[in-house]
A and B are shown apart, each in its own frame.
Chain A
C-alpha cells in the first residue's frame, strides 16, 4: 500500500499541475510560448483568460509531442480515419439506391432522396454528417487560412473546425427531421430493377461501389459464402449480379454492406455511452471531492454499491427488463459504468483542492461551481479523459456481446453483434463469425492503442 501511494503521488504531476510544469520547461518550449503570447496579444483578449489559454495550449503541445513518439499510437490514430470515413460515408459506399437513374428521357436521383429517409435515427444523423462534410471542409479550409493569418495555433484551428462540423451535423439533423423540409422519397417503393434490366438500351443506372442496401433482403440468396455471384439466369434486378464480397446472411442480406453500416452503430454506442458515463462520473466525482464531508461519504457509498454489481450482468439484466434497443443500451452502459470515473475524479479533485490556486480563486469571490468547473476540473480531468478510448472499445465489445445474446440491436438494423449471433448459431457459415470478429478486433485494437498512447503521453509514469 505504501508503494502504491508513493507511485500515485508522483505520477500525476505532469497532468495535474500544468502551471508549475510550464515554468520548468526547457528552452525548446519557449518557441511555442512565444507564438502563443504573440497570438494572444494580437487578438487582444483579456489578459487573464489569455494566460489561461496559453498554458492550456502548451500542455496540449507537450501531450501531442509525447503522443507522436509512440509510433503504434500514431498509426492507429490514422487507422481511425478509414473507420470514421466508413461510418460517415456508408451510403456512398453501399446502397441499393442508384445515384442516377435514366429511363427513356427521364433522369432521377433516388440516392439523394433516400439518404433523408432512414429506418434508424443513427443512420439519419450519420447521413446528415455526410451531407455536411464537404461544405464544412470547404469552409474549414477558408477559415484555416484566415485563422492562420491571425496566428491561431494549428490544433486549435482543427478543434474549431471539428466543433463547427458537429454543430452543422446537429443543425442538419434538426432541420431535416421535419417532414416538410426534406425531399419526399417517392421512389422508395419502386424497384429500379426489373424494367431496367429487361430494357438495357433505354435505362441506365449508376450505383454506389456496393449496390446492396443494409436491409435489402434476397430470399433466394441465403447464407451464400464470400465471393458469391448470382448466376445470370436467376437475376431479377440490376444490382443482383454484383459479387457478394463477404457473402450473405440468413435473409440474403449482403454482409459487407451490413459491416459498413454496423460501424455506425458500434461507433455511436461507443461514443455516446462513454460520453454519458464520463459526464456523470466527472460531475459526481467533482462534487464528492470538492465538498467532502457527508456528501463525499454518501457519494462514496453509492459508488461502492454501483461497483459491487458485475457490470455486464447488470447491463444484461437491465436491458432485458427495459427492452432491447441501441438507445437503451447506450443509456444503460452510460448509467452503469460511471463509478470508476467518479472515483478517479474524486481523488484528483481532493488533491487539487488543497493547492493554493483554489484558495486564491475563492478569495477572489468565485462561486463553488466556478471553482469546480473552471479551475479544478481542467486540471483534474486528464486521467478521466485518458479512459475514453478504452471506454469506447469496451462499449463496442459490450454492445456486440449483448447483440450476440439477442438482447442488443433489433434485427433489421445491421450490427456486428447480430452477425456474430447468426454465426454462433451455426458455425458452418464461418464468414458470419470471422468477418465481424476481425472487424471488432481491429477496431478495439485501434482504440486501445490510441488510448495507451494517450495515457503514456499524458501520464508518463503510468507507461507499461
Chain B
C-alpha cells in the first residue's frame, strides 16, 4: 500500500506542473497589460503611487522577466545601451533638431541607431519624422520608449552600460546619457536603511553606501565635543533598548545634523545588527540625499565623475547580479523567468497580496472564506447522509415496489432542479416580502450576532443557514440515495444475507445488523469527495444568498480582476481535488479489508 501511495504522490508532480502551466496561461490570457492587471488596474492612478513604487512592485512580482525562457544574460546590450545613452543624454529639442540629419546619414553607426529606433515600432514614426511641427513630439516618444526599454531589460543591460560609462573614450554627453539610462534600469540603486526585518545580508550594501557618502562629506562635519558624544551615546542606547518604533522615532527627532558623525561611526563600527539598523535610520532621517543616482543634462565634469563613482560602487557591490558566472547564467535561463518565479511562489504557498486596493494577503483572504464555506458544506453533507442513506435503504428494501418508484421519481425531479433556481425560488417563497418571512434573505449572521451567547449565536447561524444548506444538498441528494440503494441491493443479494434469513432472523434485523454495515462501506468512502466542495463552495448559491465564502470570493476576484487571488484559488482547488481523489482511494482500503492495492500499479502504469 505504501508503494501505491508513493507512486500516486510521484504522479502528482507532473500533474501539478500541468496545473501551474494552466494557471499561468490563464494569467497571460488576461486582456490588457498583465503587469497592470496583477498590480491592480486602476489602483495606481487612484492611490497616486509614485512611478518608483510601481517599478519596485513590478520587480517584486518579477514581472520584468521574460515569460518562459530567459536568455537575456547572453544578449549583447552594448548597441542598445549606446542608443539609449545617446538619446537620453539630449533634450527633446536637441533630438528633434538632429533627427532629419540622422535619417539621411550614411554613417553605419548612425544607421544602426536609426534601425534600432524603427524596430521599437514607435507609433506614427515616419509621419512625425516628416512633419517638423511634430518632431519634438516624436523626440519625446523616442525618449519614453527608450526609458521603458531600459526598465524592461534592467538587470541584464547594466554590465554593458557600466562599461560604456567607465570607458575613458566616452564623451561627456554619452556619459550623462548613460547615467540616465542606468537610472531607468535600476530602481533604487542605493540602499540606505534596513528592511523591516533586518538581516545581515543587507549590511555590506548599506555600509558601502554610507562609506562613499562619508568619504565625500567628512569635511563638512565638525568633531563633536565629548559631552555631546556621551549624550548621543546615551540616547542611542535608549533607542536600541526601546521596542516601540514610534518611541524610537520620537528620540530620533531630537538630534542635530552635526551629530551624524557619531552615527556614521556607530554604523561602520558597531557590531550588532540592531544598532546598525537604528544608526542607518537616523542617518537617513537627517541626510536627505546622500548619493545622487542621476545628473542634470547640462552637468559639469565634476558632477558626472561623482555620480559615476556612485554607480561604480553600486555595480561592484552587486557584481554577482549584473555579471553572474557562466554556470549561473545557464541556470538563470530557466529559473529567472516569470513562470519559474510563479511556480516557486505557488509551491511555497506564497500567494502574495490581492490586487485590490486593500492589498490584503491572498492567503488570509482565502482562509477567511474557507472558514465560512466549510461548516456550511459540512452541514449540507450531514443532511445529505441523514436523508439520502435511509431513503436509499427504504428503496432497496421495497425493491420495484410502489414506494421505491415514488421515491426514485421524486429524487429524480429534485435532481433536475438547478441548485441556483431552487435557491431563488426558496428565497422568493420563504424569505421575501411579507408573505412567509420564515428565513432571512442574506448573510449567515444577524447584525450584532457577535454579542450573542453561544447558544443564541448557534441557533441564529442555523436559522440563516437553512436555505443555503437545502440548496447545497439538493443536487447530491439523488445521486447519494441511488448510490446507497444500489450498494444495499448488492449486499442483499449476497449469500450471507440469505443465510441469515434462513436462520429465521427478522427482516428488519437482517437489514439493520447484517446488511447495513457492509452497504455503508462504499458510501463512507464518498466522504472524501466532498472535500473539494468544502473548499470550493458553490459560486451561484453563495452569490444568491450573500454568503462571503469561497464561491463568492472566486466570483468577486473574477469580477474585480484580482488575478493573484484568482490564481491562488484555482491552484488551491486543484490541489484539494487531487488530495480528495487520493483520499477516496485510500479510504476504500482502510474501510474494506477485502481490497488491496497489491499489483495495482502494474496494471495502471
Min distance, Cβ A60 to any Cβ of chain B, angstroms: 25
Given the known A-B contacts A310-B573, A313-B539, are A305 and B418 also in contact in the complex, defined by CB atoms under 8 Å?
no
Write out the residue numbers on chain A whose beta carbons fall within 8 Å of the beta carbon of B490.
3
A308 contacts B574, C-beta separation under 8 Å = yes
Min distance, Cβ B526 to any Cβ of chain A, angstroms: 13
Given the known A-B contacts A2-B595, A317-B566, are A309 and B425 also in contact in the complex, defined by CB atoms under 8 Å?
no
Residue from A405, A441, A445 in contact with B555 in the complex, judged by beta carbons closer than 8 Å: A405
Number of A residues near B (Cβ < 8 Å) is 47
Residue from A308, A310, A441 in contact with B416 in the complex, judged by beta carbons closer than 8 Å: A441
Number of B residues near A (Cβ < 8 Å) is 50
Min distance, Cβ B34 to any Cβ of chain A, angstroms: 11
B428 contacts A433, C-beta separation under 8 Å = yes
- Confirm or deny: B420 has a beta carbon within 8 angstroms of a beta carbon on chain A: yes
Report B41-74 residues with CB < 8 Å from chain A CB.
Answer: none
Mark the stretch among B14-22, B255-263, B301-309 that contacts chain A.
B14-22
Q: In chain A, what residue has the closest Cβ to B17?
A: A305
Q: In chain B, what residue has the closest Cβ to A7?
A: B490
B578 contacts A313, C-beta separation under 8 Å = no
Cα distance A241–B449 in the bound complex, in angstroms: 52
Given the known A-B contacts A404-B540, A427-B433, are A1 and B595 also in contact in the complex, defined by CB atoms under 8 Å?
yes
B424 contacts A420, C-beta separation under 8 Å = yes
A321 contacts B30, C-beta separation under 8 Å = yes
Write out the residue numbers on chain A whose beta carbons fall within 8 Å of the beta carbon of B482.
464
Cα distance A407–B540 in the bound complex, in angstroms: 12
Cα distance A412–B146 in the bound complex, in angstroms: 45
Write out the residue numbers on chain B whose beta carbons fall within 8 Å of the beta carbon of A457.
none
Write out the residue numbers on chain B whose beta carbons fall within 8 Å of the beta carbon of A72.
409
Give 1 or 0 for each of A52-92: 1 = CB within 8 Å of chain B CB.
Answer: 00000000000000000000100000000000000000000
Write out the residue numbers on chain B whose beta carbons fall within 8 Å of the beta carbon of A444.
416-418
Write out the residue numbers on chain B whose beta carbons fall within 8 Å of the beta carbon of A314.
570
Write out the residue numbers on chain B whose beta carbons fall within 8 Å of the beta carbon of A405.
539-540, 543, 555
B427 contacts A317, C-beta separation under 8 Å = no
Min distance, Cβ B553 to any Cβ of chain A, angstroms: 11
Report B532-586 residues with CB < 8 Å from chain A CB.
Answer: 532, 536, 539-540, 543-544, 554-555, 558-559, 566, 569-570, 573-574, 577-578
- Confirm or deny: A359 has a beta carbon within 8 angstroms of a beta carbon on chain B: no
Cα distance A463–B554 in the bound complex, in angstroms: 37
- Confirm or deny: A121 has a beta carbon within 8 angstroms of a beta carbon on chain B: no
A1 contacts B427, C-beta separation under 8 Å = no
Cα distance A102–B581 in the bound complex, in angstroms: 69
Min distance, Cβ B587 to any Cβ of chain A, angstroms: 12
B539 contacts A316, C-beta separation under 8 Å = yes
Given the known A-B contacts A304-B15, A440-B421, A448-B412, are A313 and B570 also in contact in the complex, defined by CB atoms under 8 Å?
yes
Q: In chain B, what residue has the closest Cβ to A416?
A: B421
Residue from B18, B26, B433, B573 in contact with A305 in the complex, judged by beta carbons closer than 8 Å: B18
B558 contacts A320, C-beta separation under 8 Å = yes
Chain B interface, >50% SS class = helix
B485 contacts A316, C-beta separation under 8 Å = no
Mark the stretch among A220-228, A276-284, A393-401 that contacts chain B.
A393-401
Cα distance A433–B588 in the bound complex, in angstroms: 43
Cα distance A248–B13 in the bound complex, in angstroms: 55
Residue from A317, A406, A448, A449 in contact with B26 in the complex, judged by beta carbons closer than 8 Å: A317
B578 contacts A308, C-beta separation under 8 Å = yes
A441 contacts B433, C-beta separation under 8 Å = no
Write out the residue numbers on chain A whose beta carbons fall within 8 Å of the beta carbon of B532.
310
Write out the residue numbers on chain A whose beta carbons fall within 8 Å of the beta carbon of B570.
309, 313-314, 317
A316 contacts B555, C-beta separation under 8 Å = yes
Give 1 or 0 for each of A445-464: 1 = CB within 8 Å of chain B CB.
Answer: 10011001000000000001
A428 contacts B18, C-beta separation under 8 Å = no
Write out the residue numbers on chain B whose beta carbons fall within 8 Å of the beta carbon of A2.
594-595
Write out the residue numbers on chain B whose beta carbons fall within 8 Å of the beta carbon of A8.
none
Given the known A-B contacts A313-B573, A321-B30, A321-B31, are A440 and B415 also in contact in the complex, defined by CB atoms under 8 Å?
no
B421 contacts A437, C-beta separation under 8 Å = yes
Residue from A316, A434, A441 in contact with B428 in the complex, judged by beta carbons closer than 8 Å: A434
Q: In chain A, what residue has the closest Cβ to B413?
A: A445
- Confirm or deny: A318 has a beta carbon within 8 angstroms of a beta carbon on chain B: yes
Give 1 or 0 for each of A155-179: 1 = CB within 8 Å of chain B CB.
Answer: 0000000000000000000000000
Report A263-316 residues with CB < 8 Å from chain B CB.
Answer: 301-302, 304-305, 307-310, 312-314, 316
Cα distance A283–B177 in the bound complex, in angstroms: 60
Q: In chain B, what residue has the closest Cβ to A464?
A: B482
- Confirm or deny: A424 has a beta carbon within 8 angstroms of a beta carbon on chain B: yes
Min distance, Cβ A436 to any Cβ of chain B, angstroms: 8
- Confirm or deny: A373 has a beta carbon within 8 angstroms of a beta carbon on chain B: no
Chain A interface, >50% SS class = helix
B26 contacts A318, C-beta separation under 8 Å = yes
B418 contacts A317, C-beta separation under 8 Å = no
Write out the residue numbers on chain B whose beta carbons fall within 8 Å of the beta carbon of A3.
490, 522
Cα distance A397–B418 in the bound complex, in angstroms: 7
Min distance, Cβ A361 to any Cβ of chain B, angstroms: 26
Cα distance A17–B201 in the bound complex, in angstroms: 72
Write out the residue numbers on chain A whose beta carbons fall within 8 Å of the beta carbon of B543.
405
Cα distance A401–B588 in the bound complex, in angstroms: 35
B554 contacts A313, C-beta separation under 8 Å = yes
Write out the residue numbers on chain A whose beta carbons fall within 8 Å of the beta carbon of B544.
424
Given the known A-B contacts A441-B416, A444-B416, are A434 and B425 also in contact in the complex, defined by CB atoms under 8 Å?
yes
Write out the residue numbers on chain B whose beta carbons fall within 8 Å of the beta carbon of A404.
420, 540
Given the known A-B contacts A313-B554, A397-B418, A441-B417, are A452 and B18 also in contact in the complex, defined by CB atoms under 8 Å?
no
Min distance, Cβ B326 to any Cβ of chain A, angstroms: 35
- Confirm or deny: B457 has a beta carbon within 8 angstroms of a beta carbon on chain A: no
- Confirm or deny: A47 has a beta carbon within 8 angstroms of a beta carbon on chain B: no
- Confirm or deny: B447 has a beta carbon within 8 angstroms of a beta carbon on chain A: no
- Confirm or deny: A423 has a beta carbon within 8 angstroms of a beta carbon on chain B: yes
Cα distance A317–B544 in the bound complex, in angstroms: 19
- Confirm or deny: B486 has a beta carbon within 8 angstroms of a beta carbon on chain A: yes
B420 contacts A308, C-beta separation under 8 Å = no
B486 contacts A441, C-beta separation under 8 Å = no
Cα distance A407–B561 in the bound complex, in angstroms: 13
Cα distance A448–B558 in the bound complex, in angstroms: 31
- Confirm or deny: B29 has a beta carbon within 8 angstroms of a beta carbon on chain A: yes
Cα distance A428–B441 in the bound complex, in angstroms: 13
Q: In chain B, what residue has the closest Cβ to A307?
A: B577
Q: In chain B, what residue has the closest Cβ to A302?
A: B18
Write out the residue numbers on chain A whose beta carbons fall within 8 Å of the beta carbon of B235.
none
- Confirm or deny: B208 has a beta carbon within 8 angstroms of a beta carbon on chain A: no
Cα distance A445–B432 in the bound complex, in angstroms: 27
Min distance, Cβ B535 to any Cβ of chain A, angstroms: 10
Min distance, Cβ A300 to any Cβ of chain B, angstroms: 9
A320 contacts B559, C-beta separation under 8 Å = yes
Write out the residue numbers on chain A whose beta carbons fall within 8 Å of the beta carbon of B536.
310, 313
B413 contacts A440, C-beta separation under 8 Å = no
- Confirm or deny: A322 has a beta carbon within 8 angstroms of a beta carbon on chain B: yes
Residues of B within 8 A of A (CB): 14-15, 18-19, 22, 26, 29-31, 408-409, 412-413, 415-418, 420-421, 424-425, 427-428, 432-433, 482, 485-486, 490, 522, 532, 536, 539-540, 543-544, 554-555, 558-559, 566, 569-570, 573-574, 577-578, 588, 594-595
What would 20 A/B residue contacts be, using CB atoms closer than 8 Å? Answer: A2-B594, A304-B15, A309-B570, A310-B573, A313-B554, A317-B558, A318-B26, A320-B558, A321-B31, A393-B416, A397-B418, A400-B418, A405-B540, A420-B420, A424-B544, A434-B428, A437-B425, A441-B418, A441-B421, A448-B415
List the 3 shortest-distance A-B pairs measured between CB atoms, nearest first. A305-B18, A445-B416, A427-B432
Known A401-B420, A452-B412; further 12 A-B contacts with Cβ < 8 A? A305-B22, A309-B570, A320-B558, A321-B26, A393-B416, A401-B418, A405-B539, A424-B544, A427-B424, A433-B424, A441-B416, A445-B413
